[in-house]
Amino acid sequence: MATMTFVEADGTEKQVDAPVGMSILEIAHRNSVDLEGACEGSLACATCHVIVDPAWYEKTGVISEDEEDMLDLAYGVEDTSRLGCQLIMTEELDGLKVRVTDEM
């Protein structure tokens, strides 16, 4: 089992178990992290927008054109922004750190 850290909007860090194969959105919901995911992971919104710690961003893989299009709708996008529903936990991401945005 991998672990990851969510940095919540208020700055609180929450380290959680992160099963390989689950999306960051699913992991957030399993651990009561305030990450909306209004479309339930169907890549139809940007409410699961997270900002990946720069040290981890390159390890998250290639971002799809569809994800880029949805991120265009998100508030506060940064260079390391991703959608939590599209970011799948792998063994290589053990220790991943992402920040939850405070605006949807």
Q: What is the CATH number of the domain that holds 50?
A: 3.10.20.30
Q: What domain range includes position 14?
A: 2-100
How many independent structural domains does the chain possess? 1
Percentage of residues of the chain with pLDDT beyond 90: 94
Q: What is the mean pLDDT of residues 41-56?
A: 96
Question: Hey, what amino acid is at 28?
Answer: A
The pLDDT confidence band at residue 102, using thresholds 50, 70 and 90, is confident
Average pLDDT over residues 11-39: 97
pLDDT, residue 104, reads 47
Average pLDDT of the residues in 9-30: 97
The pLDDT score that the predictor gives to residue 103 is: 65
Pick the closest to residue 4 from 45, 39, 65, 52 (CA basis): 52
pTM: 0.94
pLDDT confidence of residue 1: 87
45 contacts 35 by C-beta, under 8 angstroms: no
Taking only Cα atoms into account, the Rg of the chain, rounded to an integer number of angstroms, comes to 12
Structure tokens at 87: 């970011």
Which tens digit of pLDDT belongs to each residue from 55-85? 999 999 999 999 999 999 999 999 999 999 9
